[in-house]
A and B are shown apart, each in its own frame.
Chain A
Amino acid sequence: MGILPEPIEELLNTALVGELTVVDERGRPVTHPLIPMYDGEVIYLTSSILFSKKLEHIKANPKVSLSISDPEAVQVEGFRRVTIQGDATIDDSDLHSGWERKVLPLWRKKEPAIDFFLGKRVALPLFFERGIIELRPRRAFLWEEGRTDRPPQVFEVVGAAR
């Protein structure tokens, strides 16, 4: 049991892709499809330095949101959608292997083929130099049945923004 309601945690634990929205240097939203990973407290996402604009944006403005919206990318009984707002930090202290220690076990559960690709690190060395995005939720919106034509349930996360 983590800090988020169970129906939301179930989505986070099964979703193969979510949409992370960050704020760019001109104050505009920019959304990136990424794999969300969750340890009961923090939502982890990871980005190669090849696509690291989002990491720069988060460093400049930590306010982000993450949606899980694609019915094909989640395996749960009774489809639902969620959007989580929160504050993100970047861990890029060890681009080469920091992400392997922190998020690879969670990543592997969703994409077992990652071990195969990691074995071919020599072919794509920069792809495997990666920063970690650590999202601490503040608020979550939940749409049962994925129906956004109905108002969402809103959850304020206890102890957010520590």
Chain B
Amino acid sequence: MISSGEMLGRLEGSYTHAVIAFLDDSGYPVSVATSFAARPERGVVLLDEVAGEQVAPPLDREVNVIFSHIRPQPGQGYDERRYVSLWGTLQRAGGRLELTPRRVQHWDEQEMTFFEFSERGVPQAQRYMAQLSEETGTQVKPKLSFGWLFLRATRLPFLTATAVPVFLGVAIAALRGRFDLWLALLTLLGGACVHLALNVANDVFDTMSGADQANVNPTQFSGGSRVIYYGLLSMRQMVLIMVGFYVAGLGIGVYLAATRGWALLWVGVAGALISIFYTAPPLRLVHRGVGEITVALGFGPIMVLGAFFVQFQRYTFEAFYASLPVAILIALVLYMNEVPDRAGDAAAGKRTLPVRLSKDAVLTGYAVFVGLAYALILAGALTGVTARPVVIALATVPLAIGAYRGLRDSYDSPYALMPTMAKNIQLHLFTGMLLVAGYVIAIIADASLSNPPIFLR
């Protein structure tokens, strides 16, 4: 936030002219452009006199003086939007009009992004729709097409977090001799249902706790779907969607446990409880700074072991070990996505790690855990605990370095951080899929060679 003196000091370099607006005797506004000079040391703006009786600014009533700027972009529109709006009364001084501002409003998209500026307008939008509903007698609410609304409400693109561990569990089982496509698809569907239910539950409980309202810097990767807050869907509709996905996901889980072995129930129940109590009271795990561990468990060992068990009908150390890098990387997705949310989360009492830790500690944590993920991949391949070709997953190291640098450089700028958050999601996706690819290479080598070389086993 800049002071009004500082703002007056910037006027001359930022704007070419002023527009003085006032009400004429018939009550119509008159707005007229003129030249100006700022005197920040005195806290005043000097405006050139305007000729013509009908358009001469009055000295006996309040005027609004606005300074507005855009930069035209031919064939596109414009950018560099900014304005400063001042209110006060004018007095004549040395042949000019002198304004001592009593009230100031301003916006500069280079200081506050258009997204944040818009987000701060949501309460006004809600008021307007409520008033319009009252005037018209029908409920006025914003709309999106069904497809976009479903995508937004469920945060469908985040399903990669489920696909990676399920594919990995299935691939490990396939290398060890068991593969059933129908069961693999059913596992994926069940996992996706629980994941989507978790996403919806997260929005339901974030709206209830006030976290959505407190966050004015949501991005496409953080801040939730906001469909309830925006009025696109009601709380009741979201609860119904949440329950629907949980019923479908848990139903598939029970079917798989009944047909493949009741030992699956342990990971299934653990996954469901983690999913529900991630944001739901009384545990609200994400509010207690254990969201990352919870997500790591759910989208790491639980998903990989569950998918593996459905195929193999028992648990192995290999499946557990292979899940660990995936677990770490998905936890780091959440960890980085919480960085731009930290002010809103703190206001809502959500004590996530970026809320609790300093910037340096967050950066160090990121670097240490990315390093640990790669160390586990390398150690697993070298010792033969995992298939050796998974070492190809180290190819994503440059992506990890880029993500770390982006986090360091854009830590305090939510929208500048967006490309880095995308990179961090790619880091999980690409590393996970390369782990799967490593297993697929081993499967192909095993099937096509009578005695595959050690680096392909």
Contacts and interface: CB of A to CB of B under 8 A. Distances in A.
Interface of A: 16-17, 19, 21-23, 27-31, 33, 48-53, 55-56, 61, 63-67, 69-73, 75, 81, 83, 85, 92, 95-96, 110-114, 121-127, 129, 138-139, 141, 143, 146, 148-152, 154
Chain B, interface SS category: mixed
B151 interface: yes
B85 A31 contact: yes
A21 B29 contact: yes
B143 A152 contact: no
A65 B54 CA distance: 13
B262 interface: no
B32 A72 contact: no
B33 A129 contact: no
B372 interface: no
Contact of B34 (A29, A61, A70, A148): A148
A19 B55 contact: no
Contacts of A23: 23, 27, 29
A113 B77 contact: yes
B124 interface: yes
Contacts of A124: 115, 118
Interface residues of B, number: 61
B87 to A, nearest CB: 7
A125 B55 contact: no
A148 B76 contact: no
B32 A67 contact: yes
Contact of B21 (A31, A55, A75, A125): A31
21 contacts: A16-B72, A21-B21, A21-B29, A23-B23, A23-B27, A29-B22, A30-B64, A33-B83, A50-B118, A61-B27, A65-B31, A67-B21, A70-B69, A75-B72, A85-B28, A110-B77, A125-B232, A126-B142, A139-B28, A148-B48, A151-B55
B17 A73 contact: no
A148 B32 contact: yes
B222 to A, nearest CB: 13
Contacts of B122: 50, 126
A27 B24 CA distance: 12
A96 B142 contact: yes
Nearest to A73: B70
Given A50-B122, A71-B16, A83-B55, A63 B78 contact: no
5 cross-chain pairs, A with B, having the tightest CB-CB distances, nearest first: A50-B121, A111-B77, A151-B52, A69-B33, A21-B29
Given A121-B148, A124-B115, A125-B143, 14 more contacts: A19-B31, A21-B64, A31-B66, A33-B83, A48-B121, A49-B128, A50-B118, A52-B128, A69-B19, A83-B55, A114-B77, A126-B118, A127-B118, A148-B48
